Chains A and B, each alone.
Chain A
Amino acid sequence: MKGRTYKVMQETVNGRSLGIGITLTAFFGLVVYGGVLKLGALLEFTPQTRVATALGLALITILAFSFMINRRFGTHREVNEDVPSSSDLRNVLAAFDTDASSELKNLKGGPVDVLYIAEHAGISEQLAQIALADAASSEAERTI
């Protein structure tokens, strides 16, 4: 999607996508709402039924257009979910064992220094974090 992207509400949004999205949902929501009200009057529905049907169909229209906007114009996030290899895990566990702090091992002290482990094992902080979750979970569960 062309157009500039901005950081708002802790998310990246495309200005043009947002403009198209709001215009489409509002316009077609109002068209369906107004159209159903007119049609309801012609078919001699009671006022309550007319409003209920118009609002219900407007909601369905808005949701349908939202899904279309999502597929065509949405700015999607990058999700990093690397799974560490067994050698990465071994590296992390080695770093975990060589750490001098006993508090680190029994998980009773301050936070585990992921950066230290990442540096020591020669892997990214993200990967160290994932591997550490595996390494620490069984011990942590025994402790908690």
Chain B
Amino acid sequence: MELIVFALLAAVVASLLYFIIGLIPGTDETASIAPIILLLVLANIPPEVILCFFMAAIAAMETSNSVPSAIAIIPGSTMTVPFLDACEVGRRYGIPHILLRKMLAASVVGVVIALPIALVFGSILQPFGNVIRSYAPWAFLLGALLIALFSKARWAAVLAVLPFATFIGATQELSSKLVGHSMFISFFMGIALGPMIIDIFVLLSPPVSRSLRSNSASSVNIVREGTELQSMNPMRVLGRRQLGLTSVAAAITSFFFVLSPVGMTVLVGGLAEKIRGSALKRLLDKIVAMDAVNNSTYIAETLIPLIAVGLPLSPMALGPAAPLFNAPPRFTIEPVNNIHTLLSTNAIAMFSVLGALVGISISYFLAFRRARTWCTWTLRFISMETLISAFVGLAIVLAYNEAGVVGILATFAMALLAGFMNRFLRVELGVLYMSFYASAAVTGKIIPAVGDFLRGIGVAP
């Protein structure tokens, strides 16, 4: 009983904290959620509480990030970038407040539909867990190549997989010699904060930073919300047509848990837009479907791999949810010793549902009634410097905890490389995470096999 109360309190704290973070423009889910979860894992907090905290955080953030998108046309987080075009059109229709309420209601539907599907589908896949685990390194390599192939960077990303995985493998060897063990947290944090760190380094280089100078503070225009009272029941807010659409979109996409959430959101938005109707109806269909998918993929991509295999085999599990799978020395994937093994399926289900429902309820209530007030307050009083300082400071402490000064240097080295690949080559972070996990297969199996083959045909000494 005490554990449930503790988990409930953690969920409430996570909901409030990530509701506000979701309102701040430009925040990234991985960079803002993963460090806190890592810290909770390393601080020996019970796994039930960590899971509950995480589910509340993700449900709250993925709901509140709709607010700045709809009423200020700025992305609340990385996931809401695809929403902006539709939000801009909604604003020109003069209905951003209606759009926002529909988006919030779609978030609720996305979470409520994805939870049972993820729990049941994860349990169905559980008997195949051992088989999947035995092929894990290859699955990561295949995953990295597939995500790369379907990403924007396409061939640049595909060709980067092997060299990046080899670089990680070689650096792991080096870190074993320097600190006596391999590193995970330092590299993971480096990849997660890569885009942010590269932006900071760019400012330190006068020839590049000169072009980024700006003499005015960021200016945001906020449209007034409608003042009329409206039912908060998500089913009434959406209406029958949009309720059906969001439910179907959330349900179908939950099964494709290995695909990119952004990719699926864009795909579903494009399909929903093609359904016949007036321009306004098509716009609303598009935005509600995208928002529901945004939430459902996050829930499904965490829970299905967590229940079925205990390995981070989805872009979400490789990003914000990664510390639930791998946070050495407490949680490991070789051998699998994490929430998958520490909690029964029933316990995972119970604490996930508790966290997600607390997160979505708090966030929905706060955003629905006072979206403009919250958004204005956050935009006016929380500066970008604060967020960057907090996350970089946290990453430095976590890296130091893992490997001392070497850990901090490794984090920055990895952040520079990952940030460069992401910002300038547009290689998605999911590709880099997958390559990171595939590095064991690349350096342990592929490179020796290629060496043997070349020696066999007399090409190499």
Check A30 for interface membership: any CB of B closer than 8 A: yes
**Would you call B336 an interface residue if the criterion is a C-beta within 8 Å of the partner chain's C-beta atoms?**
no
Q: Name B281's closest neighbour in chain A (CB-CB).
A: A144
From known contacts A6-B213, A18-B385, A107-B280, infer whether A137 and B218 are also in contact, taking CB-CB under 8 Å: no
- B203–A8 touching, CB < 8 Å: yes
In the complex, what distance in Å separates the CA atom of A58 from the CA atom of B36?
12
Asked if A136 is an interface residue, CB under 8 A from chain B, the answer is yes
CB atoms of B379 and A62 under 8 A apart:
no
Which of the four size classes fits the interface of chain B? 35 or more
Q: Contact: A65 with B389, CB < 8 Å?
A: yes
Considering the chains assembled together, what is the distance between the CA atoms of A133 and B94 in angstroms?
A: 4
Chain B residues within 8 Å of A59, by CB: 36, 39, 394, 397
Contact A66–B214 (Cβ < 8 Å): no
Residues of B within 8 A of A24 (CB): 389, 393
Q: Which chain B residue lies CB-closest to A138? A: B228
Contact A144 B284 (CB under 8 A): yes
Chain B residues near A40 (CB-CB < 8 A): none
CB-based contact A22/B389 at 8 Å: yes
C-alpha gap A17/B174 in the complex (Å): 35
Chain B residue with Cβ nearest A48 = B44
Chain A residues 1-44 with CB under 8 Å of chain B are: 4-15, 17-18, 21-22, 24-26, 29-30, 33
Tell yes or no: B406 within 8 A of A by CB. Answer: no
Q: Which residue of A lies closest to B219 (CB)?
A: A78
Are A29 and B396 in contact (CB-based, < 8 A)?
yes
Complex alpha-carbon distance, A140 and B26, angstroms: 31
Q: Cβ of A8 and Cβ of B220 under 8 Å apart? A: no
Determine if A94 is an interface residue (Cβ-Cβ < 8 Å): no
Residues of B within 8 A of A56 (CB): 39, 43
Known contacts being A5-B217, A70-B383, A79-B222, is A15 close to B95, with CB within 8 Å?
Answer: no
Bound complex: CA A44 to CA B214 (Å): 53
B residues less than 8 Å from A69 (CB atoms): 383, 385-386, 389
Residues of A within 8 A of B226 (CB): 133-134, 137
Contact call A75/B217, Cβ cutoff below 8 A: yes
Q: Bound complex: CA of A48 vs CA of B45, how far in Å?
A: 11
A11-B218, A112-B94, A144-B281 as given contacts; A30 in contact with B400, CB under 8 Å: yes
Q: Whole-angstrom distance from the CB of A6 to the nearest CB of chain B?
A: 4
Q: A26-B396, A69-B386, A76-B217 are in contact. Are A112 and B93 (CB under 8 A)?
A: yes
Chain A contacts for B26, CB-based, 8 A: 9-11
B219 touches A26 (CB 8 A): no
- Are A21 and B385 within 8 A (Cβ)? yes
Known: A18-B203, A81-B224, A129-B223. A62 touches B92 (CB 8 A): no
Within 8 A of A (CB), among B403-443: none
Q: Which of B120-172 contact A (CB under 8 A)?
A: none
Q: Which of B194-202, B289-297, B312-320 contacts A (4 or more CB under 8 A)?
A: B194-202
Q: Which residues of A contact B217 (CB under 8 A)?
A: 5, 12, 75-78
With a cutoff of 8 Å between Cβ atoms, the chain A residues found around residue B388 in the complex are 13, 18, 21-22
Contact of B384 among A13, A25, A137 (CB under 8 A): A13
Residues of B within 8 A of A (CB): 25-26, 36, 39, 42-45, 74-75, 89, 91-98, 196, 199-200, 202-203, 209, 212-228, 239, 278-281, 284, 372, 376, 379-390, 392-394, 396-398, 400-401
Given A22-B200, A65-B393, 18 more contacts at CB 8 Å? A9-B196, A13-B383, A13-B384, A17-B385, A22-B389, A26-B393, A51-B42, A51-B44, A73-B385, A77-B219, A77-B380, A79-B380, A111-B93, A133-B94, A135-B94, A136-B93, A144-B280, A144-B281
On A, residues with C-beta under 8 Å from B are 4-15, 17-18, 21-22, 24-26, 29-30, 33, 48-49, 51-56, 58-59, 62-63, 65-67, 69-70, 73-81, 83, 107-114, 126, 129-130, 132-138, 140-141, 143-144
6 A-B residue pairings within 8 Å (CB atoms): A25-B394, A30-B396, A69-B389, A80-B219, A129-B221, A130-B223
